[in-house]
Structure 1
Amino acid sequence: MELEQLMRRIDRIAGGRQAHLRIAPAALHHPRTRRDFRWITWILTAELVIGAAAVGIAVWLTVQGHPVAMSAWMRAVVVLGMTATLFYFFYFALRAAAGWRWAYQRLRLFAQVFPVITLVLAAVPGLYPVWMVTEQIVFSLLMIGVGDILTSDHMREAYRHPDRPVPRFE
């Protein structure tokens, strides 16, 4: 099966009733759209590295004989799980960069929700060690960056609902 056919099947599941909506070619190929998705890819790659580092630090501390609290282990596992969902984010980013509106909407939603959850957990006094609170803050800041890019005027206009008038990208 061709890769694009497989992706379209996944799109039908992930995109629901909006799986068929694609943005205008002029918006898709606009230099600002391309640049924004390059930045998003780099930021998501950094998120992947941070997620792996959180687990690595917990393992390293344990091997060194330092106690790692259960909450820190659970957070490390959650970060690993979130990192695994970043592969889905990469899928969202890949599909949004290909012009699929549903993928843009989901990527934007997760980029706005995850930082809130992460920062709320980081704010609970004594729940996590300092290194993990720092990791959560950096994770959140990077994800806020993705959300900021996705909610820029250009991106919102490029991925507007199809019932709205077509913008002129020049």
Structure 2
Amino acid sequence: MALESLFLRLDRIAGGRQAGVAISEAGRTHPKTVRAFTWILWLLVAELVLGVGAVVVALILAVDGERVPFAVWMRTLIVLAMTATLFYFAWRARRGWRWAYQRLRLFAQIFPVITLVMAAIPGLYPVWMVTEQIVFSLIMIGIADFLTSDHMRSVFAKDPQADSTSAG
């Protein structure tokens, strides 16, 4: 329970005034909600594997004596940090916290755009990194698709009657 207390404090920082707002237990345990979060988890695992793979490729290239641009190193570290953050948001959203769902949905919609714009800048990244960014974006679009489904939007819709409830 002490660990959950720590997470609730972190939620307060990440969620602001909305940190205590949770969806209903029925919405949280609905089969469509559970299925969506199961898919989201697996897609995030794929993102993690992709991110670790990019680090491994960059390391192999550097060890082989090839110059790995600073932008590649930054991109690989940022992707891993982003993925960790998205795992946290997904975990908290799966537990019913509305703020976490909102953050996850926002980032799942924004990150692909940013990533594709960055990939389109000529010469910024090597071809293998551009390919990684395109795959990353496609996976994020998949996550966003689950999060913006009619079911998920209705389950996580703002309830004007409830200021805060407890999520399990």
TM-score by length of 2: 0.90
Gaps of 5+ in 2: 163-168
- Once the two structures are superposed, residues 86-113 of structure 1 have per-residue CA deviations (whole angstroms, 9 ceiling, x without a partner) of 2121111011000000000001111111
**Cα distance, 1:164 vs structure 2:** 7.8
| Aligned residues of 1:55 and 1:77 also touching (Cα < 8 A) | no
CA distance in 2, matches of 1:3, 1:39: 26
Asked if structure 2 preserves the Cα contact closer than 8 Å seen for 1:54 and 1:132, the reply is yes
Given that 2:28 and 2:94 are in contact with CA atoms closer than 8 Å, whether structure 1 keeps it comes out as: yes
Task: Give yes or no for contact 1:54–1:76 (8 Å, CA) kept in 2.
Answer: no
Residues 1:146 and 2:143 are matched in the alignment:
yes
TM-score (norm 1): 0.89
Instruction: Verify: 1:87 aligned to 2:84, yes or no.
Output: yes
Question: Any idea what the Cα deviations from partners look like across 1:114-134, whole Å, max 9, x if unmatched?
Answer: 111100011122322111110
1:38 aligns with 2:38: yes
Q: Distance in 1 between matches of 2:111 and 2:161?
A: 29
Counterpart check, 1:161 vs 2:158: yes
Report what 2:66 is aligned to.
66
Residue 4 of structure 1 is matched in structure 2 by 4
Give, as a single letter, the amino acid of the residue that structure 1 aligns with 2:89: F
Aligned to 2:15: 15
Q: Counterpart of 2:5 in 1: which secondary structure? A: helix
Tell me: CA distance 1:53–1:160, structure 2 relative to 1, closer, same or farther (3 Å).
same
Report how many residues are paired.
162
User: Which digits, 9 at most, give the CA deviation of each residue in 1:62-109, with x for residues without a partner?
Assistant: 2112333x2xx3233223222123212111101100000000000111
Deviations 1:22-69 (A, max 9, x none): 11111111001001101111111111111111121111012112333x
| 8 Å contact kept, 2:58–2:72 | no
2:25 aligned with 1:25: yes
Structure 1 CA distance for aligned equivalents of residues 52 and 80 of structure 2: 8
Structure 1: unaligned runs, 5 residues or longer: 166-170
